[in-house]
């Protein structure tokens, strides 16, 4: 069931989203060689609490961290650990907060130091796909229209959207209906986009096949990822680089507002 937000609730989500945008920006700026996911997670928790909010992810049963940190072939739900980022790594930063009774969720992927030309292009395409997906989010269109543009934009440049994962509705709960697949499903009975929707639109993709597995299923190196058998971390099945970008939006009568967007021109927002 899709829960439509009131004008007051959307205003509170905008307020919370702006707080989260600033936190995301600060976390991205700490990514450099030698930084660890645990250090970023500790900073995220500190900033969220200081802002008068609560840690969204720690409200999920069994998850105890403020962020998900995904490195290179890590796709989503990576547990922050003591691995020190190295030059050329790709690091996904997923963070959420609960503010005035409503959740906000956002993800960015950044490079550590200098990236290869191919990996730099990959991040640019992810940002482009998310921008196009948000532009497609208009009252009267279908959720599947968002999925279609994500898939087309990513595939056009030779990358693969992850069909097994999706964006989602958001509000009183971190994950709500409707879910927003990263691929278009022909003939799918897709909900119409309506005023009052809160959506966490997410582009999740890899440089390989787009197939994924839990780390424990493929004998993932626990020292490198801290995820062997953790039941959370999802990786690319073929070991190829992965990335994700996500923003929370609210659908208002005057259009879509991106609540978690960073400052204009910030390359790591």
- Distance (Å) of CA 44 to CA 4, 28, 30, 85: 29, 11, 11, 17
pTM of the model: 0.93
d(CA 2, CA 193): 10
Closest CA to 168 of 153, 182, 160, 179: 179
Tell me: pLDDT of 53 over 80: yes
CATH assignment, 7-258: 3.90.230.10
pLDDT of residue 216: 55
Task: Check the CA dihedral 207-247-251-197 and report its sign.
Answer: positive
Q: Which helix (H) or strand (E) holds 245?
A: strand 242-252
- Distance (Å) of CA 231 to CA 208, 216, 226: 23, 7, 11
pLDDT of residue 210: 96
Q: What is the pLDDT of residues 65-92, one digit of tens each?
A: 999 999 999 999 999 999 999 999 999 9
Q: What is the pLDDT of residues 144-199, one digit of tens each?
A: 999 999 999 999 999 999 999 999 999 999 999 999 999 998 766 899 999 999 99
How many Cα neighbours within 13 Å face the side chain of 2?
Answer: 17
pLDDT of residue 267: 35
Mean pLDDT for all residues in the chain: 92
Strands 54-55 and 67-71 come out as unpaired
Cβ(83)–Cβ(224) below 8 Å: yes
For the chain, how big is the Rg over CA atoms in Å? 17
């Amino acid at each position: 069931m899709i829960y439509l937000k009131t004008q007051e609730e959307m205003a509170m989500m905008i307020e919370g989203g702006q707080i989260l945008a600033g936190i995301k920006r600060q976390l991205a700026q700490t990514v450099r060689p030698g930084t660890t996911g645990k250090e970023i997670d500790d900073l995220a928790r500190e900033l969220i609490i200081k802002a008068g909010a609560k840690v969204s992810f720690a409200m999920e049963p069994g998850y105890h961290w403020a962020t998900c940190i995904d490195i290179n072939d890590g796709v989503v739900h990576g547990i922050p650990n003591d691995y020190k980022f190295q030059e050329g790594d790709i690091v996904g930063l997923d963070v959420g907060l609960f503010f005035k009774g409503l959740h906000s969720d956002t993800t960015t992927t950044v490079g550590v130091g200098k990236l290869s030309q191919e990996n730099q292009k990959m991040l640019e395409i992810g940002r482009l796909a998310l921008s196009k997906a948000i532009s497609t989010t208009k009252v009267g269109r279908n959720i599947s229209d968002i999925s279609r543009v994500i898939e087309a934009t990513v595939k056009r440049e030779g990358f693969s959207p992850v069909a097994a994962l999706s964006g989602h509705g958001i509000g009183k709960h971190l994950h709500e209906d409707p879910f927003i697949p990263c691929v278009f499903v022909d003939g799918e009975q897709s909900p119409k986009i309506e005023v009052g929707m809160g959506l966490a639109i997410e582009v999740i993709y890899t440089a390989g096949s787009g197939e994924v597995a839990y780390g424990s299923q493929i004998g993932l190196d626990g020292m490198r990822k801290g995820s062997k058998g953790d039941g959370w971390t999802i990786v690319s099945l073929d070991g190829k680089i992965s990335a994700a970008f996500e923003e929370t939006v609210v659908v208002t009568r005057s259009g879509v507002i991106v609540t978690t967007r960073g400052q204009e021109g910030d390359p790591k927002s």
